[in-house]
């Protein structure tokens, strides 16, 4: 076989959060040689931000950070360290239903619904509570889970229509193990009390806040994280596009013809696309069992002061069919830098009702903006050609904008892989596919790399990369991949960007180097999950204890084979 152009121990494909997590960890460990590549010039993947010609910013839908991991916090704090790098916001979120705004979560605010809907919801919740006392089996699918948790009333009014709009798949075709912490079950007594007393529970709990980058949108975080990596180990842009993965030869071919050989591959490419690059018929057939939906992101920039009725709302849910979108984010509320300054003169492109503006002469702002998300799948097609028009009409229908509002900028982009569907078939496929890849030294990780939505947010994705690197280096159990409920149910504080053991190890390694010994890590010994002579621990508790100890006691005296 011809020698490769580049040789590394660990190759990371993709510079979205997962790939950057892997690269950060490999850089911190400073053991095996590594490189990260991406076909995009700008890192960030699905967590990137676009800018319209008029100067409005849009993320790939509403991206809010709810970190479960200290290590993730460390890395983004290192990248954007100053207080002025961030804005902190109160989570203010509503559901648009029956022509009114009901604070989210809806199940806690049933008292605000019209009389007959209140009755339906309370009726259903009581039925569900009674049924729960005698139920002996687990719900078979997401739909059954909804009915058992919330009852038929809330299922019909909100959960079924809303979830179909989000997932583009009926709730009966989805499993429910993924839910874990995500959906709050209503407290029947509180709900009934609020209905009788005509009170609402309000929005979230106290201190429900989130932070958002002051500049460059969510994508700004990942550009900044990528900037903390050594440039010579990154290859971004057209020249970083993978066209072929030769699993047996441990070699990747890039579009320009260059080849990179690796011992271990961490890939964050959607796994169904990865297996196509591998030209592995068995795995291609297997991956066909996975389902995903596409996401359309629509942005609308409007001239004028932000209206009172919008106020400081962050994101809003739309279960009804008076608009194509399931969620709207008031993106201009997240940072004043998400839209042009007031003094910037922009022409009116159209009036919201579709009529022509009286003048196309550029005029000053102020400006505000809305970002919308619309799902698409074979089960929920989208009229793409008219989507902008339908969305703007939907904004009028839901009282988000007025028919005479001046639209100064629009944005529409379709992301083919948007949501990895927790379908009924998903686990069966993943349990076969991921180990088969790993047996070939391929770690397929990330939102679409490992296809688990419940650990598919930015913090999870980043840690999937970090943990894959740790597994390669020292065999540590990948908790996020294997125990989603566990990591989602606790604060994961064991790993830190600067660790006591790291400081200590660097000193020890320096001494070893001075004595002429080679640096670090036996990748092969970890191939079968064997570290320090012990096999991977199967149970959750033992897995947790192993991770914390392994991250403090890395091997440091063997050479890379
Ligand atoms: C609509 C939407 C809303 C979201 N909301 C939130 C939220 O509120 N909070 C949150 O934390 N997360 C949110 N997320 C999730 C977040 O975007 C993901 O967690 C994250 O982007 C996944 O990172 P990743 O690295 O696994 O994959 P990606 O971001 O998809 O990165 C994969 C990378 O691989 C590269 N690549 C693909 N093919 C090749 C190839 N052949 N050669 C070279 N490179 C290649 C791509 O260019 C890309 O950069 C949301 C996602 C979507 C789509």
Helical ranges in 93-216 per DSSP H: 115-134, 142-154, 160-167, 188-197
Taking the C-alpha atoms of 64, 65, 66 and 68 in order, what is their torsion angle to the nearest 10 degrees?
A: 150
pLDDT digits (tens, 9 = 90+) for 464-479: 999 999 999 999 999 9
Res 558 pLDDT > 70: no
pLDDT digits (tens, 9 = 90+) for 114-152: 999 999 999 999 999 999 888 888 899 999 999 999 999
**179 C-beta closer than 6 A to ligand 1:** no
Q: Count CA atoms closer than 13 A to 20's CA, side-chain side.
A: 32
**Would you state the pLDDT for residue 515?**
45
**225 C-beta closer than 6 A to ligand 1:** no
Q: How confident is the model at residue 518 (pLDDT cuts 50, 70, 90)?
A: very low
421 CA → ligand 1 middle, Å: 15
Residue nearest to atom 12 of ligand 1 (CA): 457
**Cβ atoms within 10 A of the Cβ of 106, count?**
23
Residue 233's contacts (CB-CB under 8 Å, 6 or more residues apart) are 23, 27, 34, 35, 36
**Cβ atoms within 10 A of the Cβ of 256, count?**
11
**278 C-beta closer than 6 A to ligand 1:** no
144 CA → ligand 1 middle, Å: 30
461 CA → ligand 1 middle, Å: 8
Q: Which of 39, 45, 65 to mutate to test the pocket of ligand 1 (most atoms within 8 A of CB)?
A: 45
pLDDT-wise least confident of 176-180, 328-332, 400-404, 436-440: 176-180
Tell me the C-alpha to C-alpha distance, in Å, between residue 113 and each of 40, 106, 121, 197, 245: 47, 9, 9, 13, 55
45 CA → ligand 1 middle, Å: 4
Res 555 pLDDT > 50: no
**338 C-beta closer than 6 A to ligand 1:** no
Res 516 pLDDT > 80: no
**85 C-beta closer than 6 A to ligand 1:** no
**Cβ atoms within 10 A of the Cβ of 500, count?**
9
**295 C-beta closer than 6 A to ligand 1:** yes
Q: How confident is the model at residue 507 (pLDDT cuts 50, 70, 90)?
A: low
Mean pLDDT for 10-31 is 98
Tell me the C-alpha to C-alpha distance, in Å, between residue 286 and each of 174, 426, 431, 467: 18, 11, 11, 25
Res 486 pLDDT > 50: yes
pLDDT digits (tens, 9 = 90+) for 159-179: 999 999 999 999 999 999 888
Contact 231, 27 (CB under 8 A): no
**Would you state the pLDDT for residue 2?**
81
Res 556 pLDDT > 80: no
**36 C-beta closer than 6 A to ligand 1:** no
**60 C-beta closer than 6 A to ligand 1:** yes
**Cβ atoms within 10 A of the Cβ of 158, count?**
25
Mean pLDDT for 422-447 is 98
Domains of the chain, start order: 6-48+63-84+210-290+423-488 (3.50.50.60), 106-197 (no CATH), 292-418 (3.90.660.20), 509-559 (no CATH)
The rounded distance, in Å, linking the Cα atoms of 305 and 503 is 52
**324 C-beta closer than 6 A to ligand 1:** no
Contact 240, 254 (CB under 8 A): yes
pLDDT digits (tens, 9 = 90+) for 245-279: 999 999 999 999 999 999 999 999 999 999 999 99
């Amino acid at each position: 076989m011809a020698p490769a152009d580049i040789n590394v121990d660990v190759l990371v494909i993709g510079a979205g959060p997962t790939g950057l997590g892997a690269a950060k960890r490999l850089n911190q460990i400073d053991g095996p040689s590594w490189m990260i590549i991406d076909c995009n010039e700008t890192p960030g993947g699905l967590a990137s931000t676009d800018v319209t010609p008029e100067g409005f910013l849009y993320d790939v839908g509403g991206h809010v950070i709810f970190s479960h991991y200290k290590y993730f916090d460390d890395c983004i704090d290192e990248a954007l360290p100053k207080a002025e790098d961030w804005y902190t916001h109160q989570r203010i979120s509503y559901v648009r239903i029956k022509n009114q705004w009901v604070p989210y979560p809806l199940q806690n605010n049933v008292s605000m619904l019209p009389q007959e809907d209140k009755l339906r919801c309370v009726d259903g919740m009581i039925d569900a509570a009674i049924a729960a006392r005698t139920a002996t089996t687990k719900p078979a699918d997401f739909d059954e889970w909804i009915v058992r948790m919330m009852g038929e009333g809330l299922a019909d009014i909100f959960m079924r229509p809303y979830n179909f709009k989000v997932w583009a798949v009926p709730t009966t075709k989805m499993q429910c193990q993924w839910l874990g912490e995500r959906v709050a079950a209503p407290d029947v007594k509180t709900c009934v009390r609020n209905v009788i007393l005509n009170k609402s529970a309000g929005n979230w709990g106290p201190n429900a806040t989130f932070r958002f980058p002051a500049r460059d949108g969510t994508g700004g975080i990942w550009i900044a994280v990528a900037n903390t990596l050594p440039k010579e180990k990154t290859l971004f842009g057209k020249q970083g596009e993978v066209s072929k993965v030769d699993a047996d030869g441990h070699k990747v071919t890039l579009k320009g013809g260059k080849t990179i050989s690796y011992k271990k591959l961490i890939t964050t490419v959607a796994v169904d696309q990865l297996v196509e690059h591998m030209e592995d018929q068995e795995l291609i057939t297997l991956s066909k069992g996975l389902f995903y939906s596409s996401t359309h992101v629509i942005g609308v920039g409007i001239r004028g002061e932000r209206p009172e009725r919008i106020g400081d709302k962050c994101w809003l849910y739309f279960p009804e069919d008076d608009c194509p979108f399931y969620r709207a984010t008031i993106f201009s509320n997240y940072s004043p830098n998400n839209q042009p300054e007031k003094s910037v003169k922009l022409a009116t492109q159209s009036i919201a009702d579709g009529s022509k503006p009286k003048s196309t002469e550029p005029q000053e702002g102020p400006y505000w903006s809305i970002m919308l998300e619309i799902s698409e799948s074979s089960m929920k097609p989208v009229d793409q050609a008219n989507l902008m028009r339908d969305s703007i009409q939907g904004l009028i229908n839901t009282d988000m904008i007025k028919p005479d509002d001046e639209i100064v900028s629009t944005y529409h982009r379709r992301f083919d892989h948007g949501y990895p569907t927790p379908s009924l078939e998903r686990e069966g496929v993943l349990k076969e596919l991921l180990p088969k890849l790993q047996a070939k030294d391929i770690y397929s990780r990330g939102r679409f790399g490992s296809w688990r939505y419940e650990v598919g947010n930015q913090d999870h994705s980043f840690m999937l990369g970090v943990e894959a690197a740790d597994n390669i280096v020292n065999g540590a159990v990948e908790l996020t991949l294997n125990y989603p409920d566990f990591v989602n149910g606790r604060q994961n504080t064991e790993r830190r960007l600067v660790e006591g053991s790291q400081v200590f190890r660097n000193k020890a390694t320096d001494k070893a180097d001075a004595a002429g010994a080679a640096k670090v890590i036996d990748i092969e010994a970890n191939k079968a999950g064997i570290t320090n002579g012990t096999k991977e621990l199967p149970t959750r508790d033992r897995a947790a204890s192993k991770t914390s100890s392994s991250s403090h006691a890395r091997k440091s005296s063997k050479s890379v084979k």
